[in-house]
Every structure is written in structure tokens, then in C-alpha cells.
Structure 1
């Protein structure tokens, strides 16, 4: 069992040096994996324009299909590997994760639909850790241009400017925040060592998506929003939130497995009064830690399909 766990962790950590995102193709950037390093690989059908590569397996994958993902209309992949949707409400904030040392809220934007619920997307997130407040958001955009950066970042109320260009970095020694661009614009990896890492990407709703899903997006607003991939370290056993609860020991999903769109309810208990509020009913931030920690998130395993994740599909 110990050897199996070590093997799974090795798979997980191999993606710390995954290749940077490019339009339609991706390359492994870690020279340790010589058999894969620098080889252009075509993105999977589930994400034909934006993808990443696992250098160990030398296979491209969709970041939105990994545990910790928050993408699209919000489509979550929990720490347990189960995919679900949480629609919330437009122009409202909801607690995505709450733990004694870390709290993350998301601001939802959207449009009314004829199906009895709002179409919603996560436009920004507010992250609280220690005395610090970190904001990552997408600017309102009418005409989208790939070369223009629409990501807005603030740390403790001050704007953060990361130079444009893949590989450019920004560091804050006082707070431990590091930010690295993983594309020319609109894509970053942000990390606070020992606490969390998040890959954030600003994307628009395309006309094609609007036509397929009936979003009725007009030319005045393309509803630019965030696609997010979280990795957490040392979470307590009391962790909660829309996404956070799925990392708690013994958690069992409440969504209907096998449903075309498994929905996670709970708007009331996850609702927050504003982006940096910790007043949601499931808040754990600032509470006394329970002493039980998880081991550096869950191991990431690539097997089966690379898209349409509904749960762990591997057999061991």
C-alpha cells in the first residue's frame, strides 16, 4: 500500500512542470522528461484550443477535467474526482472553500434563462489567507482579443501587474505569493507555498458556445470569466464549501451519479455577503484547526478518457 501511494504521488507531482498552454498544441517544458521534452502535442477534442501536458505520461489533457477544477457554467470536479454543477445565482457570492487557514469565495455573473435558473459563470474569486486578501477577476469585455490581457489581480487592495509573456513572474516576499504567466496573456499560475496553488485563465463565451447552449450572448458583453484549477496543501478535516467539502475525509457525493448534469444544491448555506466575507453558514476560516491534515491534495491519476469526467475511472 505504501508503494502504491508513493507511485500515485509521483504521478501527481510530475504535473508541477506541465507544459505551458498554446493555441491547439502544448509542449512539455521539463527537460527531466527527455522523451517528451519540447514535443508538440495536439490538444484533446474536449479542449481543442487550450490544454496542458503531463510530462510523465507525455499526454495532453484538459485542465477542466482534473480534481479541483471550476470551469464553464460552473462545472466543478471535486477532490473525490466526481464532476458536478453548482449554478448559484448571478451577481451573488458563494463560498467555494473554507478552512481555518484559507477561505475562497467566488462572484458569479450570468443571464436569465428560460429553463428556470440563471446561466452563471465565476467572474472573480476572493482568497483570504492569514491577514491577506487576494483578488483574481476577469474584466468586462465586449470585443475579445486573444493578445489583450483581461485578468485583474489585486493583493491587499493594491493592483498587481505581471509583465506580459509566458514565463514572466511576480513575487511578494511579505505574503509568499508568487505569480507566473503560463501564456502570452490571460493565464497564470498563482501559488502560496504550503497552502494552495491555482491555475487561472480568463476566457470568453464564444458565439459558437452561445448558439449551442442557448446563452443568447450579445455583442455588448462576451461574459469573460475564469477557468480555475486548484491544488491544496494541508487542509483540515473540517474543510467545507462548494468545492472544499469534497476534500473532507469520508465525504460522499450527494449528486445523482449518471445524470447528464448532476447538480449540487445548497445556495443558502454557501451564500456569502461579499467577495471577502467569511459569513457563509459553512465558514471555517479563523476557527481552531482540528489537527487532522490531508496529504497535499489528492493524487492525480490519468487514465481512461481525457474529457467528460464523472468520477474516477481507474481500477487499481
Structure 2
């Protein structure tokens, strides 16, 4: 074997090793619905490069899908994909709480964490936790603060009506409420990823992800080794919203809603921060709160004849866009 051939083979081996190490760093996901999708259940997929830490398997298509590419997605700093399919950003402010959705029987607030660079006029922000109010119940999902990130260490914190929920760190581990059997939480991965569902109300995918060194360098976040700003990337699906729903994300599900963001901008930004600000995480007191009010009624399919409906997060229910 010539020196040139040996060098080429060595290079191929090194490249293959690097590829495998990068692939192993990405999350692996599976379809868990064996009953409805036996053709796909059990197969394992790597998350795509564009969302290596947060994806799920579309069981019908039998392929991994980035959580942030579907209506109801909330991720990054923070990027929203509205119920109308339009992508926009809502920056809010660090260490503050904002109303993501408010309806007569469902209210969702988010706590933002963040950091401001020395030359910045606004905060870099991410969603650290969310609080849900429904049926006289309180559900909390949050990312615990951590310095160095390790995919094998669970950084999820979940509580229901003030009681901490301890799920075994095993993929498929399931918790079901004894007081509200329609509410369940399932680990979609062994650590840092769950699916929460209240039948007839909502289905949520929640992943805890860090700000990586590469992300910090590319976006000039200035993240240090003391705090990797672990945060949530979320996918929401709703089953019974009224047409009076509001909130940063909620308003985009209203019939006839017209987005106010400047679509010609590279990063369309949703304003109106003062309207969505809440006094604390579990307080449904933002200026656009609808919680506890008699709504205008659930939008029936007969009222939505002019919209295009398709499944968002795998499961029952529809996400509709005009």
C-alpha cells in the first residue's frame, strides 16, 4: 500500500469517527404509539442537524421532525410558530413572566431568563419554565439551572398542584393523575424530554436544552461555564380553544387573526410586551387575560370551513391555519 493510499484511508477513518461522535451527541427519538403506528413504533432516529437537541418522530410520516418547525412551536430566543403558521419572535425581558395563552378555561404563562450583552439594547431571552392553569389545577414544567451540560443528567422539574412529580429516568415512563385521569405525562426520552397531555385540552412536548458554546459564539450570547442557560423548547397543540383566546401565542389561533409582525423583516418581532406581562408565573393577570371568563364558545369545524387543518404534534386534535 502506497503512503498516499494509507494517508487517504487514515483520513477516511478519522472523518468516520468524527461523524459518529457528532451523531452520538444528537438526541435519538422513537415513535411510542405502537397501537396506531405499528409500522413505525420502535424504530430509532437521530434528530436532524438543525435541531439536534429537540425533535420528535412524526409517527404517520415515520421520520424525525424539528419541534420548532410546527404550529405551536416555542424555542430558541424565543421563536414562535403561530397557529396561523407564521413565524415570529417575542423577546420579552429576562426574569419576567409573560402570558403565552389565555382562554376561558386554560391559561399558560412563561418565565423568561436571559442575558444582555454590553452593546445590546435588549435582552437575549429564553423560556425557562411554563405554568398552566386549568380545571382548578396548576401544572408547572421547568428547566433547572446547570453549569456544564450532560444529556444523561435530567434537568426537568415538574409539579402538579404543588406536588413534585418524580418520573423514573426511563424512556416511556408514565405518570397519570389520580385526581384528573385525563392528565398524563410520559418521558419521550430517558432524560430532559416529556410529553404532557390533558385529553380534550392540550398536548405539549417539552425538552430541556442548553445554549452550546457554538451557539454562544455564533450569536454572541456571551454564555460562560457558570451557566449554560438550560431552557425549554416547546411544542403546543390545543383541542378546544374559544375564538376569544389571547396571549402571545394564543391570539394566533383566533379566527380572522391578522398578524401584526413585519413579515419583510429577517426576524419578524411581536411587540406589545406590556399587554402580555404577568405579575408572577401562576398569575392570570396580564392585560389580555381571558381566564375564568365566559368565552365566545368553542370554534366548531363548521365555523372553520375556510381554513386548512392538519395534525401538528402527533396525536388527536387539529392545528388549523388560514
Is this a same-fold pair by TM over 0.5? yes
Partner of 2:200: 194
* Aligned counterpart, 1:224: 230
| Higher Rg | 2
> Is residue 177 of structure 2 the alignment partner of residue 172 of structure 1?
yes
- 2:184 equivalent to 1:184: no
| Distance in 2 separating the partners of 1:69 and 1:164 | 25
Alignment match, 1:136:
141
Cα gap change, 1:179 to 1:42, in 2 (>3 Å): closer
| Structure with the larger helix share | 2
What CA distance in whole angstroms lies between the structure 2 residues aligned with 1:207 and 1:37?
34
Whether the aligned pair in 2 keeps the contact of 1:246 and 1:253 (CA below 8 Å) is yes
Of 39, 45, 51, which residue of structure 1 is paired with 2:49?
45
Residue 300, structure 1, aligned to residue 311, structure 2: yes
8 Å CA contact retained: 2:167, 2:173: yes
Correspondence for 2:274:
268
Cα offset for 1:242? 0.1
Contact 1:205 1:224 in 2 (8 A): yes
Q: Is 1:283 aligned to 2:294, yes or no?
A: no
Equivalent position of 1:93 in the other structure: 97
- 1:27-47 deviation line (CA, Å, top 9, x unaligned): 444455455444444433322
1:305 aligned residue: none
Equivalent pair of 1:205/1:223 in contact (CA under 8 Å): yes
- Distance in 2 (CA, whole Å) between partners of 1:23 and 1:72 is 17
TM-score by length of 1: 0.83
Can you list the C-alpha shifts for 1:37-89, whole angstroms capped at 9, x where unaligned?
A: 44444433322354222222233211111110110100000001111000000
Distance 1:34 1:194, change over 3 A: closer
RMSD across aligned positions (CA): 2.3
Equivalent of residue 259 in structure 1, options 253, 265, 268: 265
Q: Evaluate the alpha carbon distance shift between residue 194 and residue 229 of structure 1 in structure 2; reply closer, same or farther with a 3 A threshold.
A: same
Task: Give how far 1:170 is off.
Answer: 0.7
Query: What residue is the counterpart of 2:317 in the other structure?
Result: none
Distance (Å, rounded) in 1 between the aligned partners of 2:312 and 2:139 = 30
Aligned residue for 1:210, secondary structure, equals helix
CA 1:150–1:298: 2 relative to 1, 3 Å: farther
TM-score where L is the length of structure 2: 0.82
The answer to whether the 8 Å contact 2:71/2:312 transfers is no
Pick closer, same or farther for the CA change 1:152–1:42 going to 2, 3 Å: closer
List alignment gaps of at least 5 residues for structure 2.
Answer: 1-24, 314-320
- Unmatched runs of 5 consecutive residues or more in structure 1: 1-21, 303-311
Structure 1 runs (4+) greater than 3 angstroms displaced = 22-43, 294-298
* Partner residue, 1:23: 26
The alignment covers a number of residue pairs equal to: 283
Residue in structure 2 matching 1:208, options 202, 208, 214: 214
Shift of the alpha carbon at 1:258? 3.6
